[in-house]
């Protein structure tokens, strides 16, 4: 067990011109900006300490979700679904999982309990399949069987991502709306860029579906028919986190190009700009226009340059870390950090960043308000964070 003391430093008293420069950085023509971006204000708080306890070790863990009985489902990229007892880290492999394409960023992805899990033990699972035209993410619905050898029963695919060549930017993260009526899904642009602006494909989008996987009524582009009827927002690159806050606002964390990682407030029909606008630059070094107030695109509420590679998003609702209720937590891959973003209504500012020394693939909240992390990699640890 390790003790980590989390201290958010008090803001410095800055001369007015310097303070203005930090709060309102000058616009540029895009691309990476040396030394990072002064786009946040550090707020005051008392020192907070917590203990971090390793609980289990997994093979390329990707996502975790807690069930009503306190146990957790953890997906492993290669195709295994593990039922983990947080009390002692004991793992039970769940049978009946689908065959997945384990390549690049593809494999077994997200898992969440359905809104009526307590009654019917229904879950949603996402993974990558091969098909005509290439690969793509799919979402299936199944019943999680009970007993010493649990298995998925009646697994049925209810949604498919448009297929294309390549093995990146699948996204395929899910969340259920607060009214329990809709399934929201992130669908990456598969490293093809232009599909994010094409309303005739479901790539590079956030989607709103009925619980059976069909397009929800009254979506912004329903009159176009086809997969356009699934679209809730567009212009997204690789959104690997999606969550509702306590006020019912929908947020998504998104991997940008070279720099320009984002936290976005997701609203119906909005265009988030990719690949026409970004606060980063192309990996080739070529320029991408920055977000501006009059470019017609929805700018991120928070962005990071240099990149942190946000791999997950959780919005905290517990009492164990009471002052953080309603705030967003991002797991950073290349940043090897846990990051807190202070959310206030529909606005957000960067608050804390704690170096974890490992790529953080997933951040999740436990039933008791504890915070749980999954480290990325072939021997990724499951970590529990509790107040000291």
Summarize pLDDT for 361-373 with one digit per residue, the tens. Answer: 999 999 999 999 9
23 — pLDDT class (breaks 50, 70, 90): very low
To which residue do tokens 């020192």 refer? 47
Please give the backbone phi and psi of residue 195, each rounded to the nearest 5 degrees, phi first: -60, -25
Reply yes or no on whether the pLDDT at 24 is more than 50.
no
Cα separation of 306 and 378, whole Å?
26
What would the pLDDT profile of 215-236 be if each residue is shown by its tens digit?
999 999 999 999 999 999 999 9
What would the pLDDT profile of 98-131 be if each residue is shown by its tens digit?
999 999 999 999 999 999 999 999 999 999 999 9
Q: What separation in angstroms does the CA of 38 have from each of 25, 164, 246? A: 7, 38, 28
At 41 the pLDDT is 32
Which tokens in the block code for residue 189? Answer: 């642009």
Task: Find, among 366, 356, 369, the residue nearest to 321 by Cα.
Answer: 369
Classify residue 374 by burial, with Cβ atoms within 10 Å: 0-12, 13-18, 19+: buried
At 144 the pLDDT is 98
At 298 the pLDDT is 98
Classify residue 168 by burial, with Cβ atoms within 10 Å: 0-12, 13-18, 19+: middle
Please give the backbone phi and psi of residue 120, each rounded to the nearest 5 degrees, phi first: -120, 0
Q: How far apart are the first and last CA of the chain?
A: 11
Contact (CB, 8 A) for 279 and 290: yes
15 — pLDDT class (breaks 50, 70, 90): very low
**Which domains, from first to last, does the chain contain?**
2-6+37-387 (2.120.10.30)
Query: Which residues belong to the active site?
Result: 169
């Amino acid at each position: 067990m390790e003790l980590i003391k989390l201290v958010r430093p008090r803001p410095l008293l800055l001369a007015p011109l310097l303070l203005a420069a930090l709060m309102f950085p000058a616009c540029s023509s895009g691309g990476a900006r040396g030394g990072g971006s002064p786009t946040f204000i550090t707020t005051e708080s008392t020192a907070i300490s917590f203990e971090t306890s390793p609980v289990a070790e997994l093979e390329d863990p990707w996502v975790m979700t807690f069930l009503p009985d306190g146990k957790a489902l953890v997906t492993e990229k290669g195709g295994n679904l593990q039922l983990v007892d947080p009390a002692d880290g004991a793992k039970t492999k769940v049978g009946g999982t689908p065959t997945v394409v384990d390549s690049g960023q593809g494999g077994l992805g997200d898992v969440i309990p359905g809104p009526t899990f307590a009654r019917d033990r229904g879950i949603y699972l996402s993974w990558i399949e091969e098909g005509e035209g290439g690969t793509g993410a799919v979402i299936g619905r199944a019943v999680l069987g009970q007993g010493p050898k649990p298995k998925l029963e009646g697994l049925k695919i209810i949604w498919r991502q448009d297929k294309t060549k390549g093995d990146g930017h699948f996204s395929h993260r899910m969340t259920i709306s607060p009214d329990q009526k809709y399934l929201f899904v992130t669908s990456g642009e598969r490293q093809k860029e232009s599909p994010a602006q094409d309303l005739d494909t479901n790539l590079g989008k956030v989607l709103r579906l009925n619980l059976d996987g069909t397009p929800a009524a009254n979506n912004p582009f329903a009159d176009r028919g086809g997969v356009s009827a699934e679209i809730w927002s567009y212009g997204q690159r690789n959104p690997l986190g999606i969550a509702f806050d306590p006020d019912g606002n929908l947020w998504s964390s998104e991997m940008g190009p070279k720099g320009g990682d984002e936290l976005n407030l997701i609203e119906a029909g909005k265009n988030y700009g990719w690949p026409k606008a970004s606060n980063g630059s192309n990996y080739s070094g070529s320029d991408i226009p920055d977000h501006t107030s009059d470019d017609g695109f929805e700018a991120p509420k928070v962005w990071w340059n240099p990149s942190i590679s946000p791999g997950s998003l959780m919005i905290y609702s517990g009492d164990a870390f009471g002052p953080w209720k309603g705030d967003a937590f991002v797991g950073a891959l290349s940043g090897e950090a846990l990051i807190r973003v202070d959310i206030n209504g529909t606005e957000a500012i960067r608050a804390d960043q704690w170096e974890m020394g490992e790529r953080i693939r997933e951040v999740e909240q436990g039933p008791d308000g504890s915070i749980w992390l999954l480290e990325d990699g072939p021997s990724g640890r499951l970590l529990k964070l509790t107040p000291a």
